[in-house]
Amino acid sequence: MKVQLKDTIFQSCILNASGPLCTSEEQLYNIDNSSAGGVVSKTVTWDVRKGNTKPRYFDNFLGSINSMGLPNNGHQYYIKVANNIKKPFIISVGGMNLKEFIDILSNILVSIINFDKKIDGLELNLSCPNIIGKGQVGNDFKALELYLEEIFQIYNKLLYNRENKPIVGIKLPPYFEIVHFKIVAEIISKFPIDFITCINSIGNGLIVNWQTETTAIYPKNGMGGIGGSYVKPTGLSNVRNFYLQFKKLNKDIKIIGCGGIECGKDAFEYILCGAHLLQVGTQFYKENTSCFRRILKELYEIMKSKKYENLEDFRGKLKTIPLQDTHHYHD
């Protein structure tokens, strides 16, 4: 089940989500040697970043809460690692402000131009909810457009004459108002964006340990990003709404679905809603790379049972339940 996004061919539709188990060279090689279709790095900042104070991650049977604070080895580390990764390699780009974003992006693009670094894609993380004192750019629509204007100005300037350009996407926060999907889709459609990833974790959730009468994590008074099963309905909604908005705008912007993917059924549902690729975070943290093979196997079995031969047979073809089909309703 290979998936092509422009000139980049992913070996399967399942990727790791930027976040867990993708910080070190060893972890990236572990993903590279798995059934994942490609490799996504931890979100990078200019310098090495330790992240927030521990404990900063907690999971249970419904999902997880984290306030990691973008721990990573600095952007130069991931540029150096790039050529040793066989599968498509996407660097998740972060920054504490617009200048840092631009500086990191410039360095990555120069490394591609001057040193032929094998960096296949860039995922602009405009939605991390766990940086103390910082809001999510994706929730400030004026800031979102400003960031994209500045980012693509430097992107187009540096790669003006280059044929093989890395694919570029944005990792978005979850949205909850229908009008916001329309606004964000219209902003994104102004720029040569190849994909969006939705959703990032739902920010500022709180999990309480009733036995100890404490929070589950330490940073931000115990508040952090919620992931796993908790967020799947929101993830599906975001994928579906953006799929329909881009279709209305006649824009070929692909969607990477993320949030609560634990099994083949979850993967099937995301693709049915319109996802082109999928990212797995919480379940990857719990199960390590074996989750990729298992989810793909379960997805294939569902497709076989429904007589679907490829992903295009059902991608985006979610139907609204007919009005006369009332047996699902309970008054």
pLDDT score at 135: 85
The pLDDT, as a whole number, for residue 178 is 97
User: What's this model's pTM, rounded to 2 decimal places?
Assistant: 0.96
Burial of 109 (0-12, 13-18, 19+ CB in 10 A): buried
22 included as an active-site residue: no
Burial degree of 324 (CB within 10 A; 0-12, 13-18, 19+)? exposed
Owner of token pair 């978005």: 172
Q: Which domains does the chain have, with CATH numbers?
A: 3-51+71-204+227-313 (3.20.20.70)
Query: Do the beta carbons of residue 121 and residue 166 sit within 8 Å?
Result: yes
Give the separation between CA 273 and CA 241, rounded to whole angstroms. Answer: 9
* 8 A C-beta contact, residue 122 and residue 105: yes
SS3 state of residue 265? helix
pLDDT computed for residue 328 by the predictor: 63
Q: Per-residue confidence of the chain (331 residues) as pLDDT tens digits?
A: 799 999 999 999 999 999 999 999 999 999 999 999 999 999 999 999 999 999 999 999 899 999 999 999 999 999 999 999 999 999 999 989 999 999 999 999 999 999 889 999 999 999 987 777 788 999 999 999 999 999 999 999 999 888 889 999 999 999 999 999 999 999 999 999 999 999 999 999 999 999 999 999 999 999 999 999 999 999 999 999 999 999 999 999 999 999 999 999 999 999 999 999 999 999 999 999 999 999 999 999 999 999 999 999 999 999 999 887 656 656 5
Q: What is the pLDDT of residue 331?
A: 58
CA–CA dist 95, 320 (Å, integer): 40
Q: From the candidates 13, 22, 128, 258, which is the catalytic residue?
A: 128
**Which pLDDT score is estimated for 326?**
59
CA-based radius of gyration for the chain: 19
The per-residue pLDDT for 323 is 85
What pLDDT, on the 0 to 100 scale, is given for residue 294?
Answer: 98
Residues 6+ away with beta carbon under 8 Å from 89: 38, 39, 41, 82, 118, 119, 120, 121
Say whether the peptide bond before residue 199 is cis (omega within 30 degrees of 0): yes
